[in-house]
Amino acid sequence: MSSKTFTRAEVAKHNTEDSLWFVVDSKVYDVTDFVDAHPGGESVLRQVAGRDATVDFYNLHRHEVLAKYADLCVGTVEGEKPQVITPRPGDLSTVPYAEPLWLTPAYKSPYYNDSHRRMQKAMRVFTDTYVTPEAQARELDGKYISQELVDRMSKVGLLHMRLGPGKHLHGVELMDGAVRGEEFDYFHDLITAQEGVRANARGFQDGALAGMVIGLPCVMHYMKDERRRKAIMDEVLGGKKYMCLAITEAFAGSDVAGLRTTATKTADGKHYVVNGTKKWITNGVFCDYFVTGVRTDKGLSVLLIERGEGVETKAIKTSYSPAAGTAYITFDNVKVPAENLLGEENKGIYVILSNFNHERWTMACATIRQCRTVVEECLKWSHQRLVFGKRLIEQPVIRQKLAKMIALVEANQSWLETITYQMCHMPYKQQAQHLGGPIGLLKMSATRAAHEVADEAVQIFGGRGITQSGMGRVVEMFHRTYKFDAILGGAEEVLADLGVRQAMRQMPNAKL
Ligand code: HEM
């Protein structure tokens, strides 16, 4: 920004055909050569020529517009300083409820220590600096994640971290040394998930190797040949090869037992021959490995299938961006080595189920954080938007909506943290027994809340809430995409039922 200063009287002189200046938040803008390019047209700019246009500007634009057009700024008003906060990469928001309570000054939490705080800071800087700019660009052009970002994520251990705590992290320096792999627990995991989704790009979010997050654990826990397992883990965590989980079919979604893709053993027992289809496979379009649910002679099995002869993928157009690489897959007589069987033959259901809790919990982390971002957007918008002669926030009906949204977000975050604490203190096997139901209910609660939050947010933003650019772009994206989390990883209704059925297994002979 230029260091020049001007008096308001000097700015006022630039209100002619040949020179058009105005002030926004103490900064002086010369838009003489910009009027033809201004998306809002020329006339509106002429109306504020020579004047302070701060109120008009923020009634119509996001603050980030000023950063994008920073070269229009020719200086500041003498003796004045900009009042509007310009966040730097890594900054916490000071808007009420924009951050979870543990990151809000004056609040305490029993769950987070210094190591968690270091992780949060490092993740925020990384997301703001590298992920958000690419995520926003990919949402627009629909291309897949760049190898450059994958390499960067791999280098700081982000791909490793997304599998959750465990031995695969031991000896790994995370986020350039912010945290040691050995100290990584489920609260670090929660932070990783919640910070990552601040890029506000739901399609890209899945495109950023979500398939690996749910596919690779099956290899990590169930591939028998240790040498091969290590080689594949290194390739995938090194960002050299991409992996996805291919379970759902046109025939069966949440009803995993209804899968129809078959795997038949060859007479010599050395191979399986796979035939069938898969649908809605996240990242499938650009993956090298497919962790695939198949029907073998006496039940379900899981095979690691490499892209090759007989494997075809084509993109499915969904309501989020093509950056996710969502695929329809066909397997036609695909020959798969028998050692690519993950877990036991006909017992694949255990392989599939073993992963579900962590996947669902991660989705709850993400959804709750996205709801919070939408709350922040709504608080800012209702605070700056002038309508019917006053700020939107002065309408009681708007405050009612905000209160409901805030309460939903805070309640879900608290429940999430309580469950996360149990995850930190329960062996994995016990988690499956005691936490499968609560995690299912938590995910259901998070996506039901998302439904309410998305709906109210669009009402608050009006037409902008259904417009993909400008003020309401975050709300529009959320409203268009929150359903992915209500369906993927187990539909709301299936998880609600699971939660209650699991509780009923513990039901004593208690009477009213
Ligand atoms: C440095 C100054 C300005 C820049 C760089 C700028 C840039 C933009 C951009 C990029 C848009 C597209 C929408 C968006 O992305 O948010 C836009 C829309 C618009 N601008 Fe500006 N603008 C400036 C100042 C102003 C001022 C002072 C006014 C009015 C007094 C104005 C009136 C409008 C209007 C009416 C729209 C259309 C809004 C809508 O579609 O909802 N702009 N401007």
If 0-12 CB within 10 Å is exposed, 13-18 middle and 19+ buried, where does residue 111 land?
middle
Mean pLDDT of all residues belonging to the chain: 96
Ligand 1 binding pocket includes 73 (Cβ within 6 Å): no
* C-alpha dist (Å) from residue 77 to 10, 13, 26: 9, 14, 5
CA 66–ligand 1 middle distance (angstroms): 10
Pairing between strand 5-6 and 73-77?
parallel
The span from the CA of 241 to the CA of 306, in Å, is: 10
Ligand 1 binding pocket includes 29 (Cβ within 6 Å): yes
- pLDDT tens string 205-226: 999 999 999 999 999 999 999 9
Does the structure show a pLDDT above 90 at 509?
A: yes
Percent of the chain with pLDDT over 70: 100
Burial of 208-239, coded b for 16+ CB within 10 Å and e otherwise, reads: bbbbbbbbbbbbbbbbeeeeebeebbeebbeb
Ligand 1 atom closest to the Cα of residue 68 is 5
Nearest residue by C-alpha to atom 21 in ligand 1: 40
For residues 210 and 240, the answer to whether their CB atoms sit within 8 Å is no
- pLDDT tens string 330-352: 999 999 999 999 999 999 999 99
Task: Quote the pLDDT of residue 191.
Answer: 98
Ligand 1 binding pocket includes 57 (Cβ within 6 Å): yes
| DSSP character string of 325-357 | --EEEEEEEEEEEGGGEESSTTBHHHHHHHHHH
For residues 352 and 247, the answer to whether their CB atoms sit within 8 Å is yes
CA 24–ligand 1 middle distance (angstroms): 12
Ligand 1 binding pocket includes 52 (Cβ within 6 Å): no
For residues 121 and 90, the answer to whether their CB atoms sit within 8 Å is yes
CA dihedral (458, 463, 467, 471) in degrees, to 10, reads -80
If 0-12 CB within 10 Å is exposed, 13-18 middle and 19+ buried, where does residue 140 land?
middle
- In 40-131, which residue ranges form alpha helices assigned H by DSSP? 43-47, 54-60, 64-68, 114-126
Report which of 275, 263, 272 is spatially closest to residue 337, judged by C-alpha positions. 272
Q: Name the DSSP letter for residue 269.
A: S
CA 62–ligand 1 middle distance (angstroms): 9
The span from the CA of 74 to the CA of 82, in Å, is: 14
Which stretches of 367-448 are assigned E, i.e. beta strand?
Answer: 386-387, 390-391
Phi-psi region of 326 (alpha: psi -120 to 50; beta: other; left: phi over 0): beta
What is the band of 432 on the pLDDT scale with cuts at 50, 70, 90?
A: confident
Ligand 1 binding pocket includes 405 (Cβ within 6 Å): no
Ligand 1 atom closest to the Cα of residue 29 is 1
Ligand 1 binding pocket includes 48 (Cβ within 6 Å): yes
The span from the CA of 111 to the CA of 89, in Å, is: 25
Helices and strands (H and E) in the chain: how many = 17, 16
Ligand 1 binding pocket includes 98 (Cβ within 6 Å): no
The span from the CA of 473 to the CA of 293, in Å, is: 37
CA 28–ligand 1 middle distance (angstroms): 15
CA 372–ligand 1 middle distance (angstroms): 27
The span from the CA of 197 to the CA of 184, in Å, is: 19
For residues 97 and 376, the answer to whether their CB atoms sit within 8 Å is yes
Task: Quote the pLDDT of residue 461.
Answer: 98
The token pair that represents 262 in the structure block:
């078959």
Q: Which amino acid is at 27?
A: K
The token pair that represents 96 in the structure block:
């009420």
What is the band of 187 on the pLDDT scale with cuts at 50, 70, 90?
A: very high
Does the structure show a pLDDT above 80 at 1?
A: no
Report which of 47, 9, 58, 1 is spatially closest to residue 27, judged by C-alpha positions. 1
Ligand 1 binding pocket includes 39 (Cβ within 6 Å): yes
What is the band of 2 on the pLDDT scale with cuts at 50, 70, 90?
A: confident
Pairing between strand 390-391 and 386-387?
antiparallel
CA 396–ligand 1 middle distance (angstroms): 29
Burial of 25-62, coded b for 16+ CB within 10 Å and e otherwise, reads: bbbbbbbbeebeeeeeeeeebeebbbebbbebbbeebb
Ligand 1 binding pocket includes 44 (Cβ within 6 Å): yes
Report which of 72, 79, 74 is spatially closest to residue 3, judged by C-alpha positions. 74
Percent of the chain with pLDDT over 90: 95
The span from the CA of 211 to the CA of 288, in Å, is: 11
Domains of the chain: 5-77 (3.10.120.10), 114-208 (no CATH), 240-346 (2.40.110.10), 356-505 (1.20.140.10)
* C-alpha dist (Å) from residue 484 to 202, 370, 386, 411: 9, 13, 33, 21
Ligand 1 binding pocket includes 40 (Cβ within 6 Å): yes
Ligand 1 atom closest to the Cα of residue 53 is 27
Ligand 1 binding pocket includes 20 (Cβ within 6 Å): no
Three-class secondary structure of residue 293 per DSSP: strand
Nearest residue by C-alpha to atom 7 in ligand 1: 38
φ, ψ (nearest 5 deg) of residue 42: -85, -40
Task: Give ipTM to 2 decimals.
Answer: 0.97
Average pLDDT over residues 411-438: 94
What is the band of 482 on the pLDDT scale with cuts at 50, 70, 90?
A: very high
- pLDDT tens string 138-177: 999 999 999 999 999 999 999 999 999 999 999 998 999 9
The token pair that represents 37 in the structure block:
């390019």
Q: Which amino acid is at 425?
A: H
The token pair that represents 421 in the structure block:
């604490």
Ligand 1: which of 27, 38, 55 to mutate, most ligand atoms within 8 Å of CB?
38
The span from the CA of 330 to the CA of 314, in Å, is: 9
Task: Quote the pLDDT of residue 353.
Answer: 87
CA 369–ligand 1 middle distance (angstroms): 29
The token pair that represents 407 in the structure block:
């309460």
CA 42–ligand 1 middle distance (angstroms): 10
Nearest residue by C-alpha to atom 20 in ligand 1: 40
The span from the CA of 286 to the CA of 267, in Å, is: 33
